[in-house]
Amino acid sequence: MHLLADADLRLDAAPIDYVLLGVYFVVVLGIGALARRSVSSSLDFFLSGRSLPAWVTGLAFISANLGAVEIFGMTANGAQYGIPTMHYYWIGAIPAMVFLGLVMMPFYYGSKVRSVPEFLLRRFGKFAHLVNGLSFAAAQVLIAGVNLFALATVVNLLLGWPLWLSVVVAAIIVLAYTSLGGLKAAVYNEVMQFFVIVAMLLPLTFVGLHKVGGWDGLVAKITAASPDTASEQLNSWPGMNLTGIGNATLSVLGIVFGLGFVLSFGYWTTNFAEVQRAMSAKSMSAARRTPLIGAYPKTFIALIIIIPGMIAAVLVPELAAFKQGQDTGVTYNNAILLLIRDLLPNGMLGIAITGLLAAFMAGMAANVSSFNTVFTYDLWQAYVRKDKPDAYYLKVGRVVTALGCLVAIGTAFIASNFTNIMDYLQTLFGFFNAPLFATFLLGMFWKRMTPLAGGLGLIAGTASAITVDVLNRNDVLNLAGQGASFVAASAAFVVDIVVSVLVSLATRPKPDSELVGLVWSLTPRDQLRHDDTGENAGWYRKPGVLAAGVLVVTVALNIVFW
């Protein structure tokens, strides 16, 4: 693994850059210390007492996603694949976020569950609950490792520390404020981090475009560098370079079904690291608006993440040579760092470095805070130590926060083996989120689905995704790009549905009286309606209006970049 440790590849920070960085860390830890004052119960620690306004949870919702997945992964994708990467936003995020706000949040928030696995406990019982609790906990520490690796890479470039030391120091920083103030500290830091991240990406995009001669100049440089593949990089459809599928029709199908439906809906509607932010809102209306408010910046932030990656691939000599097949000691993961190194002067460099650290800390804090909630409530309290005082579970939560950071240190080195961490992340999403979404979807709209089907469907779906991944790694399927992840996720979804239906038809379902509020047909309509009184009044606060607006914007952007 090349870590850009050579002197000529280091980020050449000046004293002003370190001052900006120091101020940022003081603020981060200060927010954690202040949030600690309001933590008096486990509900305060894990869900901030369900007291946060919609605009705060909405920005935290999107900031929690702005970790290594976005900053390293999507700029790496932009450098490698170009415009088709936009599908991860406009096909692979916005529709699912709208579905979460309009359809899923009434069930999550209305049932007053403390986590996504707890919803499964009420709908299906202990078997499905335990299966999902274990798989979710594993997924979060694996993904936290990705954010931690990205965070450590920046520290390595900035200070020249070895990777292991950078990983440990980065983990300690995140642990400090997350264990102090719990979710509230993480959420308020994420709101601040959102603006810091944008303050990094906007000037980087504009300076980069200026350097290449605007959009037309970027198109010309990409065409000159890769005349045979330029069209694939500059047009979003059919996206064959992204999927690795040679047939245009099948490639579109893979994007729409595999990414746009299975992976996207699986991630955004069942990933507790995201849903937890909405569940901390002060009301049902605020909870429903949370993903819808977050969808607006998500729609546009694609432009200031993917375009810098494309610019780096033609402007940075080492990366341009790497894209042509030469071994230059860099990978696509280094795109954002190399662009920062080459374009930004001191002072602005400090803001950029701070923005990177903010992004990775936000992502890791989201993973760790959701991990400690699920481990404490859904595993420890449910199966190991029941009926203990609330103070006991608050203490366990803080201990588990440290444990999650410790395990993430180990999983960070797994992430270091991938030249594009998006390949790794999409693999994980196929394993864990795709089958979970299938179980949720079927269980929410089909009251006949049984408890045993919930658990067996999850196991079968996960096993099928792993099987597809193993077959591809052993050259049986020969899928390039991220197509293997789309196929694995699709297989997980279909197998989960089939197994769940067959098992349900052979076993006894729960009585209707136990499914009220958990199944669409048995949920009171009042629970699904928007409350337009008090602070929820105003047409612009209606979930339907917010959803329609962001969908119109998304369709327009899809047409512009077709």
**Of 498, 183, 527, 516, whose CA–CA distance to 366 is shortest?**
183
Q: What confidence score (pLDDT) does residue 3 get?
A: 42
Give 437: exposed, middle or buried? Use CB within 10 Å, 0-12, 13-18, 19+. buried
Residues 6+ apart with CB under 8 A from 126: 382
Q: Which two tokens stand for residue 229?
A: 């593949």
Q: Which two tokens stand for residue 285?
A: 């209306």
Confidence band of 530 (pLDDT split at 50, 70, 90):
low
Residues 6+ apart with CB under 8 A from 166: 151, 152, 153, 155, 156, 159
Residue type, 168: V
Confidence band of 187 (pLDDT split at 50, 70, 90):
low
Q: Is the pLDDT of residue 4 over 50?
A: no
**Tens-place pLDDT, residues 336-374:** 888 888 887 766 677 777 777 766 676 677 777 778 888
**What pTM does this model have?**
0.76
**Tens-place pLDDT, residues 400-424:** 888 888 888 888 878 777 766 777 7
Q: What confidence score (pLDDT) does residue 377 get?
A: 81
Helix (H) or strand (E) holding 472: helix 451-473
Q: Which two tokens stand for residue 423?
A: 């390949």
Q: HEC states along 286-349?
A: HHHHHHHHHHHHHHHHCHHHHHHHHHHHHHCHHHHHHHCCCCCCCCHHHHHHHHHHHHCCCCHH
Q: What confidence score (pLDDT) does residue 451 get?
A: 93
SS3 434: helix
Q: What confidence score (pLDDT) does residue 40 get?
A: 58
Contact 140, 431 (CB under 8 A): no
d(CA 157, CA 361): 17
